[in-house]
Structure formats: C-alpha cells, structure tokens
Structure 1
Amino acid sequence: MNDNDLFVITGGSRGIGAAIARHAAKTHPVVILYRDNAEAAQCVVEAIDSQGGKAWAIRADIGDEQATLGAFRKIDELGRIGVLVNNAGVTGGMSRLADLRSEDLARVFGVNVLGAFIATREAVRRMSTARGGTGGVVINMSSGASVLGAPDAWVHYAATKGALDTMTIGLSKELAGEGIRVNAVRPGVIGTELHLQRTPDALERFANTIPMGRMGTANEVAEAVIWLASPAASYVTGCLMDVRGGL
C-alpha cells in the first residue's frame, strides 16, 4: 500500500468512524461512506481538508447492496483502495429477545453482517493480487459484545459482531496469499452515541465494571485501527484486537 491509496471507511461521519477518518487522513486520502447525515459527513471532510488532507464523502446505505455497488463505482473514479474499514453498524435498538421485532433483527443483520460482506467482497475484487490488484487491508469493527453477549439489551447486535469475528478469522486465511490482511478491532464501552443511549446511572454502573475504571474514547479505538492498517502490522492478520479497558 502506498500513500496515494484510498483509506475507505463505512459509517465514517460520526463517532469512531469520524475519528478513524481524521487519523487516517494524516497519511492517506480518505473516503467516508455515510447513510443519511450529510452535514456530519461534510464536517469531517472539511476538517480533514483544513488540515491539508484529502477527503471525500459518498452517500450509501451499506445495508443496500445496490447502493454499496454504486458507492464503489464512485470510489473507483477517485483512486485505488488500500484499506477498507467496515465501521458502519446499527444496534437494532435496545431490547430483550422476547420483545425484539423481526424488522429490527433483519436490519441489524442486513447492515452489520450482509453489508460488511458485500463491502468486503467489492474491496477484495479490487485489492486481490490474484485479480490484478496490489493487496490491501480490511479491518472489521467488531465489539466486545461479541464476547460478553450483551444480555438484556443487545444480544442481536452482539450476534452480528460475533459473525464479524468469524468472518475476520476465515477471510484472513482465505486472502493471506493474495496480499490482503484482515483484522478486527473489538471496542468496549466507548464515549460515543451508541453507549450514550443508556441512562447516566446505567452508564456509571457499566463503567464501574471496567478494570481501567473508565469508558474509552473514539480516538483510542482509531489509533488501534491505524496501527493495524500500517506497515508496522505487516505480519498481523486474523487478529481480534480488544480495545476495552480490560473488560
């Protein structure tokens, strides 16, 4: 991967995705995909441009295959993909299984699992040395929920992240001979909109279970992603990197 290769981040307009974009833009041109918050996406692009970086925002619902294919056609016009970060995700709402609606279940699996597979497929078709590419990196944004299970709130969400863990392990072996490294980052309780859905009391109780005694930050997660994407991690593939304060 060279400095001109594109660093593509799905769900890059807010939270962890935006933090990854800002860090990645220090060394690579960045493309962020977003679903509906054009204003937030443009803010990220403008922030990167103001620091001398290059960035573009493309609207695409990762849960919609045709929208994803259209986004990759636009990416092709901008340059060659070097890194794909599958960060786009939805929780499906906080719910116990008995109260879970099938449409919410379908949406969370459609975005978090199917969407990640489709985006990765398109990136691999472009990166693979077996298909004329020059290699690259795929990083899946998993979650500590895949290990902890998220009972009473997000078991459905946790299951999608477990699927990403398995995808990471399998594809890392499938693609190792084609110049593509595949890893995952599993954040814990991070101070973003996702966890701030909880009440302050619930957040405090949750934070007290973390051995390091605090929530993490989006920047701390972004730093892990940037390292995995860098030449410093050239011999790292199939890694499920926990960034969750010891939880």
Structure 2
Amino acid sequence: MERALTLVTGGTRGIGRATALRLAADGHDLVLGYHQDTASAEATRTSVESLGVACRVVPCDLTSPAGVDELFAAAADVGQLTGVVNNAGATLHIAPLAETPVEVVQRTIDLNLTAAVWVARAAVRAMGRSYGGSGGVLVNVSSGAATLGAPGEYVQYAAAKAGVDALTTGLAQEVAGDGIRVVGVAPGIVNTTIHADAGEPDRRDRVGPLVPLGRVGEPDEVADAIAWLMSGEASYVTGTTLRVAGGR
C-alpha cells in the first residue's frame, strides 16, 4: 500500500507544524509550504524526517496564483497527492475595522480567503479522479471567529474565515463524486505566535479565561482533529466544519 502524501500550507509553524508532526507520526510523507521563516521550515523538516517519512519544504506566496501553482508543482514532483491541509492564514492586525488600514484589510482577505480558494481549486485538480488523481481529503482550516465575528479585534479576518466555511460546505458537494472529501476545522484561541504577529503577544492571557474550558488550546489539539478528519475513521464525514474552540 502506497504511503499517503499530504501538502500542508503554512506547514512549518504553529498549527501547521503540529499537524505536520502528527501526520508524519501517522505515516504521511509531507510537502510543507511556508512564506518567509526559513529557519522554522528547516527545523520542522528535520523533526518530520526524524519520524521516518519524507518531507519537502517549499517557499511560496499563496496570495499569488503563480505561487499556488509553484507549490502544487513541487508536490507533484514528489508524488500523487492524497491530502491537502489548507492552513495558511493570519489575523495581521488587532483593532476595530474603522481603525484598520485599508491595505491590512485587503491583505487579510487575500491571505485568509482568496488564497484559500485558490489552494482548494488546486487541490481538486491534483486529487480529483476526473483530473487523473486518486481522490483524497481537503481540510480547510477556518476559525471560531467565523461565527463569533471578532468585534473590536479583526472582523475582516472573521468575515474571510466565514467564507472558508462556505467554501467547505459548497465544494464538498461539488467534488464528492470525484473522490474528494472536503472538511473544515475551526480552532478557537490557540497557543501560537499568531497573536504576537498581529501586535498583541498577551492576547492569549486576556482571552483564555473567557473560554468555557478556561484556557487556550494547544496546536496539538487542533492537529489531532485534522488527523482524524483525514483518516479512514472519518470516511463518512464531508461538508462540515469541526469546531475545536474549548466551547466558545
């Protein structure tokens, strides 16, 4: 039986890195896309390969259609994709919408929604049976903010992630007959650098106590959900988004 080959966008830090390590432990060979942090990419590659699977890291700009094409071409050089984790994303800024620069709003939507749609399109073309693929699983990483709206913090990010939820629902129905399951995961507040990158490193401490479970989540907890959705145990699951948000 051939080993699974999974592409993870934003796969070398945070939730993406945890997902890569979990999938590697499950026996997946991996192609990991990343933007700029080469040191983290190489460290993740080394950790993944130590688990006995193959790993290739690929720098790319997913906000460019050419960047998406380059990433999937690199994956095709490795082998036939059987899974894609559509994970790359960032809040970029924390402020009310009226106080958020127009260019930040545009970048947020470009990365979290437009790029996600392009990646999903490429995933179907890579895995769909009608395109010569063998079928597979696409996991779209959304956010709990998609339903909460993130008022006063990043409503543009929440709106983009709500679009990702709609993408999961519609595309799952569109490609079910082509051998692809499309599912989503919506993390809540998670212990990653996304908060510091957006300018508020202490946000976890501020928001964590508001979660019903009383704490922030860990990347591994989201990775476990993604791994289950990609497994045969979830073979009858498609078109739905699993919330991993501590009850919030």
* TM class, shorter-length: over 0.9
Provide, for residues 1-50 of structure 1, a one-character-per-residue CA deviation record: whole Å limited to 9, x for no partner. x6523111000110000000001112110110000011101100001112
1:224 aligns with 2:221: no
Equivalent position SS for 2:82: strand
Matches for 1:1-247 after TM superposition, within 5 Å: 3-26=2-25, 27-196=27-196, 197-198=199-200, 200=202, 202-247=203-248
Tell me if structure 2 keeps the 8 A contact 1:227–1:233. yes
Aligned-pair distance for 1:221? Answer: 0.2
| Inter-partner Cα distance in structure 1 for 2:106 and 2:205 | 31
Tell me if structure 2 keeps the 8 A contact 1:5–1:79. no
Q: TM-score, normalised by structure 1?
A: 0.95
Provide, for residues 165-191 of structure 1, a one-character-per-residue CA deviation record: whole Å limited to 9, x for no partner. 000000011111111000110001111
Q: TM-score, normalised by structure 2?
A: 0.95
Provide, for residues 192-238 of structure 1, a one-character-per-residue CA deviation record: whole Å limited to 9, x for no partner. 111355354x5334222111111110000000000000010000001
Deviates more, 1:71-80 or 1:221-230: 71-80
Deviates more, 1:91-100 or 1:162-171: 91-100
| Inter-partner Cα distance in structure 2 for 1:44 and 1:199 | 23
Equivalent position SS for 1:153: coil
Equivalent position SS for 2:130: helix
Tell me if structure 1 keeps the 8 A contact 2:193–2:201. no
Equivalent position SS for 1:242: strand
- Give the AA of the match of 1:160: A
Which runs of 5 or more structure 1 residues have no equivalent in the other structure? none
Deviates more, 1:18-27 or 1:3-12: 3-12
| Inter-partner Cα distance in structure 1 for 2:102 and 2:168 | 26
Deviates more, 1:221-230 or 1:22-31: 22-31
CA 1:107–1:199 in structure 2 vs 1: closer, same or farther (change >3 Å)? closer
CA 1:143–1:221 in structure 2 vs 1: closer, same or farther (change >3 Å)? same
Equivalent position SS for 2:160: helix
CA 1:181–1:51 in structure 2 vs 1: closer, same or farther (change >3 Å)? same
CA 1:199–1:44 in structure 2 vs 1: closer, same or farther (change >3 Å)? closer
| Inter-partner Cα distance in structure 2 for 1:52 and 1:29 | 9
Aligned-pair distance for 1:74? Answer: 1.4
| Inter-partner Cα distance in structure 1 for 2:21 and 2:49 | 10
Identity of aligned residues (%): 38
| Inter-partner Cα distance in structure 2 for 1:223 and 1:77 | 28
Provide, for residues 104-149 of structure 1, a one-character-per-residue CA deviation record: whole Å limited to 9, x for no partner. 1111111111111111111111211122221111001100000111
- Give the AA of the match of 1:198: E
Q: How many residues of Structure 1 are paired with residues of Structure 2 in the alignment?
A: 245
- Give the AA of the match of 2:212: P
| Inter-partner Cα distance in structure 1 for 2:208 and 2:141 | 21
Which runs of 5 or more structure 2 residues have no equivalent in the other structure? none
Tell me if structure 2 keeps the 8 A contact 1:189–1:195. no
Tell me if structure 1 keeps the 8 A contact 2:190–2:204. no
